[in-house]
C-alpha cells in the first residue's frame, strides 16, 4: 500500500478515500472508455508553465481553472462526467489554452462521498491559489455532475445549505434535512455563483447546445460540493456547477465539446474583469 501526499491511498492503481496528489511530472491516469473502473486522482500542470504567455494588462484577470467530475454511485455505474474531465485533461496536456490566456491547472475525478468533499475542495482551491500566487490569475472551480432525471444540460445558479440525500453516498451516509454549514444559517439559505449564468448559457446556445439555467442543484453530493466550493472561493475567485444528463440521453462526445466551449466562455468572461472588480458569492 503506497501513500500519496494528500487524502487517500493507492490500491491497485486506484486512489481511494479522497483525492490524491502527484508531482508535476505525472498524474493519476484516467481510464480509457473501455475500462469500466475509475481512478480517483488528480492531474495538474507545472505552475511555472511551459508556454509563452501574451502580455496582459497588469490588473487584468485570467482564469486559473480547476475542473472536476464524479465517479460512479448507486445506479450510475459509469458517470459521464469522468469522460468530460478526461477530455479536458487531454486537451490541456496537448497545449490547448482557454480563451484570453486562461489555463487548466487541475483536473480531478472525485468520489461521491459528501464528507470528503470539503477536504477535496479545500485542496483544489489551495492548488489554484498557489498557481495564481503573484500573478493576475484568479481561481475558478468548475464542477460537472450527472443528473439522471434530466435530458438536457443545466448550469446551476446556486447551492443550498441543505443535505437531504435521496440515496446514500458511497460511504453509506444519507442525511435528511441537515444543515451543511450552521454559520450560513438554516436549510433555506443558499449561496449564488457570481459568474453570469445567463450570459454563459446564451453563449453555449449560440453554438447549438441545449443548455438551461437552473436554481435547483438538488440536495445530494453535487449540491454539497458546490456549496463548499462557493464558500471557499468567496473573495478570491469563482465557482460554478453544471449538471449533465446521462450518456444514453446525450452522447459523450457532445458533452465533451460543450464542456470545452463552456470553459472558454468562462475564461473569456473572467478576462473582462479587473482584479478590483472580483465579485463575491452572495449568501441569501
Does residue 26 have a pLDDT over 60? Answer: no
pLDDT bucket at 27, cuts 50 / 70 / 90? very low
Please report, for the domain that includes residue 82, its CATH number: 3.40.630.20
The highest-confidence range among 54-63, 119-128, 268-277, by mean pLDDT, is: 119-128
Provide the number of structural domains found in the chain: 1
Residue 149 φ then ψ, to 5°: -90, -5
Q: What's the mean per-residue pLDDT of the chain?
A: 81
Query: Which of 101-105, 130-134, 254-258, 280-284 is predicted with the least confidence, judged by mean pLDDT?
Result: 280-284
pLDDT, mean of residues 159-188: 95
- Global pTM value: 0.81
Q: Pick the more confident residue, 181 or 22.
A: 181
CA distances for 143 relative to 12, 186, 222, angstroms: 27, 24, 8
Name the residue range of residue 135's domain. Answer: 2-47+56-283
Instruction: Report yes or no: 65 and 105 within 8 Å, Cβ to Cβ.
Output: yes
Does residue 176 have a pLDDT over 90? Answer: yes
Amino acid at each position: 500500500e503506497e501513500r500519496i501526499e494528500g487524502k487517500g491511498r493507492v490500491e491497485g492503481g486506484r486512489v481511494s478515500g479522497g483525492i490524491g496528489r502527484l508531482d508535476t511530472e505525472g498524474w493519476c491516469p484516467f481510464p480509457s472508455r473501455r475500462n469500466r473502473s475509475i481512478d480517483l486522482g488528480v492531474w495538474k500542470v507545472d505552475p511555472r508553465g511551459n508556454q509563452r504567455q501574451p502580455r496582459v494588462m497588469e490588473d487584468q484577470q485570467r482564469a486559473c481553472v480547476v475542473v472536476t467530475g464524479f465517479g460512479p454511485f448507486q445506479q450510475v455505474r459509469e458517470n459521464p462526467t469522468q469522460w468530460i474531465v478526461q477530455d479536458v485533461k487531454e486537451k490541456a496536456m496537448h497545449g490547448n489554452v482557454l480563451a484570453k490566456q486562461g489555463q487548466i491547472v487541475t483536473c480531478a475525478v472525485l468520489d461521491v462521498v459528501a464528507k470528503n468533499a470539503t477536504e477535496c475542495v479545500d485542496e483544489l482551491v489551495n492548488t489554484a491559489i498557489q498557481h495564481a500566487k503573484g500573478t493576475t490569475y484568479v481561481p475558478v472551480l468548475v464542477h460537472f455532475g450527472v443528473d439522471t432525471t434530466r435530458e438536457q444540460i443545466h448550469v446551476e445558479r446556486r447551492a443550498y445549505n441543505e443535505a437531504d440525500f435521496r440515496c446514500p453516498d458511497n460511504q453509506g451516509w444519507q442525511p435528511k434535512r441537515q444543515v451543511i454549514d450552521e454559520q450560513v444559517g438554516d436549510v433555506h439559505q443558499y449561496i449564488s455563483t457570481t459568474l453570469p449564468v445567463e450570459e454563459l448559457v446564451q453563449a453555449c446556445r449560440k453554438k447549438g447546445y441545449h443548455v438551461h439555467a437552473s436554481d435547483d442543484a438538488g440536495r445530494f453530493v453535487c449540491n454539497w460540493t458546490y456549496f463548499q466550493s462557493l464558500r471557499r472561493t468567496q473573495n478570491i475567485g469563482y465557482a460554478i456547477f453544471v449538471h449533465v444528463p446521462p450518456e444514453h440521453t446525450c452522447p459523450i462526445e457532445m458533452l465533451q465539446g460543450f464542456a470545452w466551449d463552456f470553459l472558454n466562455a468562462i475564461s473569456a468572461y473572467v478576462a473582462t474583469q479587473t482584479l478590483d472588480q472580483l465579485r463575491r458569492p452572495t449568501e441569501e
